[in-house]
A = this chain, B = another copy of it.
Amino acid sequence: MHISELPTPAVVIDRDAVRRNITAMAAVHPGARLRPHVKAHKCTSLAREQYLAGHRSFTCATPNEVLGMVRANVGDDLLLANEVLDADRLHTLAHAQESTRITVAVDSDVTVDAAAMAGLRDVVIDVNVGLPRCGCAPSDAGRLAERARAHGMNVRGVMGYEGHLMMVTDRVEKQRQVHDAMTTLAAAANDVGGDIISAGGTGTFDMFADTEVNEVQAGSYALMDTQYALLELPFEQAMWVVGTIISANDQWKVLDVGLKSLGMDHGNPSITDGSVWFCSDEHITFAGTTARVGDRVRVTPAHIDPTMAMHSVAHVIQDDTVIDTWPIDLRGW
């Protein structure tokens, strides 16, 4: 099938581009040095490409992502890098750990106790390293580890996500701030014990050389978006939402890709050689290309993660030929 035969809006992933991104990252962080974050693509078929590139351990953001990875039998070591209190979901995760190693992040007495009560075996202590979100105070990490061990759980180490530093554009300043955050994390790791010191994302992936971090949780690098393209990263755009021009006049054109098929929290998407005016539920109004009614146009999302979460399938292309269809099978919670 040619890309122009796809019903639109349609997510397309360039197989060669995604493989180049995976290869480029694996060269910097081979094997267990990278714990790819599946929240960026929510697609076990893409995770399998990462697995085949040598990464056996993965990061997830929701219980459903963990369970989907278990069902698809991708990954030997799954980290739920998020706090969960839902007893039913924790029990389901505990059941799933019979087939795959599952480790859950905890950052409070309540989350430690909930994990223990559900019968989970492995936890990491989630440490706040500057982003105002989850994570305990660094000084509290050792105490929480003791509490988890007192429940009989295995404390594998620490994680700390420096998300507030992803988009710092001055590399020297960014390096300094990442180093400071990871010094905090390393001190907490010393209090906690275990052997995992997990951190990072696509925006900081190459800034851990002088730190004790031993695994990086990047995810967006595989597909990329216009936000991360602002940084100088060795990854290329590998995913687009393809639309059809359904209306046009001398001043503007209208594409059948809208804000229900694009993550909008980082602003408008981009169209090569086009100027995006605004997005509606099912439309982008844009100007500046020679495309006509009926033509297909590729839209580059501003934020890859929520965009993937809005679609049920991704079409894999090589040049302009559709060679495979990957279910986006890790959606939901």
Q: Within 8 Å of chain B (Cβ to Cβ): is A62?
A: yes
Q: Is there an interface contact between B61 and A282, defined as CB atoms closer than 8 Å?
A: yes
Residues of B within 8 A of A256 (CB): 82-83, 333
Q: Is there an interface contact between B9 and A247, defined as CB atoms closer than 8 Å?
A: no
Q: How many copies does the complex hold?
A: 2
Q: How far is the CA of A20 from the CA of B172 in the complex (A)?
A: 58
Q: Is there an interface contact between A249 and B86, defined as CB atoms closer than 8 Å?
A: no
Q: How far is the CA of A244 from the CA of B259 in the complex (A)?
A: 26
Q: Is there an interface contact between A88 and B7, defined as CB atoms closer than 8 Å?
A: yes
Residues of B within 8 A of A61 (CB): 281-282
Partner of A282 from the list B62, B248, B261, B263 (CB cut-off 8 Å) is B62
Shortest CB distance A265–B (Å): 4
Q: Within 8 Å of chain B (Cβ to Cβ): is A309?
A: yes
Q: Within 8 Å of chain B (Cβ to Cβ): is A142?
A: no
Partner of A281 from the list B83, B259, B305 (CB cut-off 8 Å) is B305
Q: Within 8 Å of chain B (Cβ to Cβ): is A264?
A: yes
Q: How far is the CA of A265 from the CA of B305 in the complex (A)?
A: 15
Q: Which of A155-180 contact B (CB under 8 A)?
A: 163
Q: Is there an interface contact between A134 and B85, defined as CB atoms closer than 8 Å?
A: no
Q: Within 8 Å of chain B (Cβ to Cβ): is A123?
A: no
Q: How far is the CA of A105 from the CA of B274 in the complex (A)?
A: 26
Residues of B within 8 A of A246 (CB): 82-85, 111, 134
Q: Which of A274-293 contact B (CB under 8 A)?
A: 277, 279-283, 285, 293
Q: Is there an interface contact between B8 and A86, defined as CB atoms closer than 8 Å?
A: yes
Report, as a range, how many residues of chain A touch the other chain.
35 or more
Q: Is there an interface contact between B280 and A133, defined as CB atoms closer than 8 Å?
A: yes
Nearest chain B residue, comparing its CB with the CB of A246 = B83
Q: Within 8 Å of chain B (Cβ to Cβ): is A217?
A: no
Known contacts A259-B263, A263-B264, A280-B163; is-contact A132 B251 (Cβ 8 Å): yes
Q: Which of A237-272 contact B (CB under 8 A)?
A: 244, 246-249, 251-252, 254, 256, 259-261, 263-265
Binding site for B on A (CB under 8 A): 7-9, 39, 61-62, 82-86, 88-89, 107-108, 110-111, 132-135, 137, 163, 244, 246-249, 251-252, 254, 256, 259-261, 263-265, 277, 279-283, 285, 293-294, 305-306, 309-310, 312, 332-333
Can you pick out 24 interface pairs between chain A and chain B where the beta carbons lie within 8 Å of each other? A8-B333, A9-B333, A39-B281, A62-B282, A83-B246, A83-B247, A85-B246, A85-B293, A86-B244, A110-B294, A111-B247, A111-B293, A132-B251, A132-B252, A132-B277, A132-B285, A133-B254, A133-B280, A133-B285, A134-B246, A260-B306, A263-B264, A264-B306, A310-B310
